Every structure is written in structure tokens, then in C-alpha cells.
């Protein structure tokens, strides 16, 4: 089953391709100094009844390469060992190579060491000692993604710091990692802070690290429809704002009606009307504003 954590693990590469440079350095794979990154369709289905889909596919091309050059990067988020996956990975790479006629690399993102060690392969497909096809994935996991517990280091590369926090969510230093990132985001531009905060909430899911993060970072939503804490808080804030706006409008109506009837409104009465946020109370005052002789009569004993 595809989970929010799974989605966040590969989506970050689509939306923040600057993560590729430090990641490729970690993996020891050369990357063009100046390259364009294009998100391609992840659909690798050939026969309709058999649907296959890569998590993310990026085309990476040097700016000066024209129509040729570059390579494809297929990214898979893997939460556990799965004996069927190597065959699917071989299919993905072969299909993409045939479709786009350029080299293909496979990057597997894992959150636990056992899965990362397994995903490194190599996976040889064939009969007994005869290898017809071999799959050698690049792997990111707890073993090669840096642990970032320094707020200044996190602030220098928010994308890598966020990816590190997702990768090391089960690490003993997870609280320190999250605290460092929260401090870095606190000093970042509001849009970046919002994006990374909510992406990490989705990526951590209902884990203990996710609970810690929800206590650290209350901001607005960047992923509508996902039901995150930030989205719920925003919805509550919008509802509160609508209620406050309605109360403000009703209070003005009360005072305008009194003014149209030449009923004097002392400062303390004006302050009480303007400060009221209860729509029912304001509604009663509005009804009385049609008939009272003085503004103070709005606040009769029945209130």
C-alpha cells in the first residue's frame, strides 16, 4: 500500500531537485555541474491489464547538451524487502531505456538499514549460475545519509536536512535532528518553512518522530487535502476568521442603525458592541436597535 511516508520519500526529489547534487556526492556518482532536471511521466505500462508505475522519473541533462546527453533517474521508495521488486526494477529500467534512448540509473530510498542493505543488490536474473540481466541500484539509507543535528548546518541546506530527518526518523538522535531543523525553519522564509515543515509531517506519518514534529512546527498548509495538522489548523483559523468577520459586520450594523435613528452612542457602549464576538448576542442587540430610546437599553437585564 502506498503511504504518505512513501510518497514524501520520492516526491522531495521532484519538487526540490537541488537535493540531487549532495545525494550524488554521497553515492559517488558524477553529476553535471550545470544541469536541467525535468520530471517525466512515471507510467511504464505497456499492456493495459498490467499496470506498472515508477515512483518518480527525472531526466537530468547538462544545459549545453542540446537534444542529446544526460540520463534518466528512476527513484523508488522502498519500505521493506520485497522479492518481486528486482524484476520490476529491471523492467522499469529496460522500458525507460527503450522509450527515451538514454542511460538509466535506479535510486532506491530506504528508511531502515536492513532494507537498504538488501536493496543494494546486485540482483542477477537468469538460470542458476548464468546471469542474463543484473540490476545494481544506487541506495540512500541510514548508512550514507548524514545525521544533521546542528541548526546552522540544517539552515545551509534545508532540503538535505529535511531528507535526513525523514531517513533517520528511527535514529536515537531523531529528537535532536528534528529540533535542529525546526530551529533552521524558524529563521527561513515563510514559504520554505511551510513546505518543508509539512512535507516532513507527511513523511514521518504517525511515528513517534511525527508526534515530536507536530509539537515543534505549527504552520499553514502546502499539501491541501492530506488532512495534516497544519491543514486542520488552517481550516480552523479560516473558520474563526469568517466568524470574526461576521461579528464585526453585525456590530457595525447595530451602530449604524442606532446612528440612523439619532440615538447617541457613548464610547463605552461603542466599545462593548465592537468587542462582542457572539453572533446571537449581536443579533439580539440588532433587533433592539430598532426600538430603544438610548444605546444603553441594548444591554437589558435579560442579557
Beta strand residue intervals within 2-129, DSSP E: 35-40, 56-62, 71-78, 104-110, 123-127
162 HSE (CA, 13 A, CB side): 27
Angstrom distance (rounded) from CA 121 to CA 275: 68
Tell me what pLDDT residue 108 has. Answer: 94
Angstrom distance (rounded) from CA 85 to CA 55: 13
Beta strand residue intervals within the chain, DSSP E: 35-40, 56-62, 71-78, 104-110, 123-127, 130-135, 138-140
Interacting residues of 143 by C-beta distance below 8 A, sequence separation 6+: 113, 116, 117
Tell me what pLDDT residue 105 has. Answer: 93
pLDDT at residue 275 greater than cutoff 90:
no
Tell me what pLDDT residue 9 has. Answer: 79
Tell me what pLDDT residue 204 has. Answer: 85
Beta strand residue intervals within 128-278, DSSP E: 130-135, 138-140
Question: Where does the pLDDT of residue 87 fall: very low under 50, low under 70, confident under 90, or very high at 90 and above?
Answer: very high
Tell me what pLDDT residue 225 has. Answer: 53
b/e per residue, 126-153, with b = 16+ CB within 10 A?
eeeeeeeeebebbbbbbeebebbbebee
Tell me what pLDDT residue 52 has. Answer: 65
Query: Residue 251: how many CB atoms within 10 A of its CB?
Result: 21
pLDDT at residue 90 greater than cutoff 90:
yes
Angstrom distance (rounded) from CA 194 to CA 283: 39
Q: Which has the closest alpha carbon to 53: 16, 13, 95?
A: 95
pLDDT at residue 80 greater than cutoff 50:
yes
Task: Record the pTM.
Answer: 0.63
Cell 539552515 found at: 155
Question: Where does the pLDDT of residue 35 fall: very low under 50, low under 70, confident under 90, or very high at 90 and above?
Answer: confident
Looking at residues 169-185, what average pLDDT do you find? Answer: 88
Sequence-separated contacts (24+) of 132-135 with Cβ below 8 Å:
133/90, 135/86, 135/89, 135/90, 135/93, 135/106
- Residue 178 near residue 213, CB atoms below 8 Å: yes
pLDDT at residue 37 greater than cutoff 90:
no
Tell me what pLDDT residue 202 has. Answer: 83
Percent with pLDDT over 70 in the chain: 82
Interacting residues of 107 by C-beta distance below 8 A, sequence separation 6+: 23, 27, 73, 74, 75, 76, 137, 138, 139, 140
pLDDT at residue 49 greater than cutoff 80:
no
Asked if omega into 286 is within 30° of 0 (cis), the reply is: no
Amino acid at each position: 500500500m502506498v503511504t504518505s511516508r512513501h510518497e514524501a520519500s520520492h516526491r522531495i526529489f521532484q519538487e526540490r531537485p537541488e537535493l540531487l547534487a549532495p545525494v550524488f556526492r554521497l553515492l559517488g556518482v558524477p553529476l553535471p555541474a550545470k544541469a536541467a532536471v525535468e520530471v517525466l511521466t512515471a507510467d511504464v505500462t505497456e499492456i493495459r491489464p498490467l499496470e506498472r508505475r515508477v515512483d518518480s522519473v527525472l531526466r537530468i541533462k547538462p544545459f549545453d547538451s542540446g537534444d542529446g546527453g544526460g540520463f534518466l533517474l528512476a527513484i523508488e521508495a522502498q519500505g521493506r524487502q520485497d522479492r518481486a521488486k528486482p524484476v520490476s526494477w529491471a523492467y522499469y529500467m529496460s522500458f525507460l531505456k527503450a522509450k527515451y534512448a538514454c542511460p538509466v540509473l535506479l535510486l532506491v530510498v530506504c528508511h531502515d538499514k536492513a532494507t537498504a542493505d538488501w536493496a543494494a543488490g546486485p540482483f542477477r536474473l537468469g538460470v542458476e549460475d548464468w546471469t542474463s540481466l543484473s540490476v545494481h541500484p544506487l541506495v540512500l539509507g541510514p548508512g550514507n545519509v548524514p545525521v544533521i543535528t546542528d541548526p546552522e548546518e540544517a539552515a545551509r541546506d534545508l532540503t538535505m536536512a529535511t531528507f535526513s530527518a525523514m531517513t533517520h526518523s528511527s535514529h536515537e538522535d531523531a529528537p535532536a535532528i528534528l529540533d535542529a531543523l525546526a530551529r533552521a525553519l524558524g529563521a527561513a522564509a515563510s514559504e520554505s518553512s511551510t513546505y518543508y515543515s509539512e512535507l516532513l509531517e507527511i513523511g514521518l506519518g504517525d511515528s513517534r518522530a511525527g508526534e515530536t514534529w507536530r509539537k515543534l512546527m505549527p504552520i499553514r498548509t502546502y499539501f491541501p487535502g492530506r488532512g495534516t495538522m497544519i491543514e486542520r489548523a488552517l481550516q480552523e483559523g479560516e473558520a474563526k476568521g469568517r466568524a470574526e468577520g461576521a461579528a464585526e459586520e453585525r456590530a457595525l450594523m447595530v451602530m449604524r442603525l442606532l446612528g440612523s435613528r439619532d440615538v447617541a452612542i457613548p464610547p463605552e457602549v461603542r466599545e462593548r458592541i465592537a468587542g462582542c464576538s457572539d453572533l446571537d448576542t449581536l443579533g439580539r442587540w440588532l433587533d433592539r436597535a430598532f426600538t430603544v430610546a438610548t444605546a444603553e437599553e441594548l444591554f437589558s437585564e435579560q442579557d
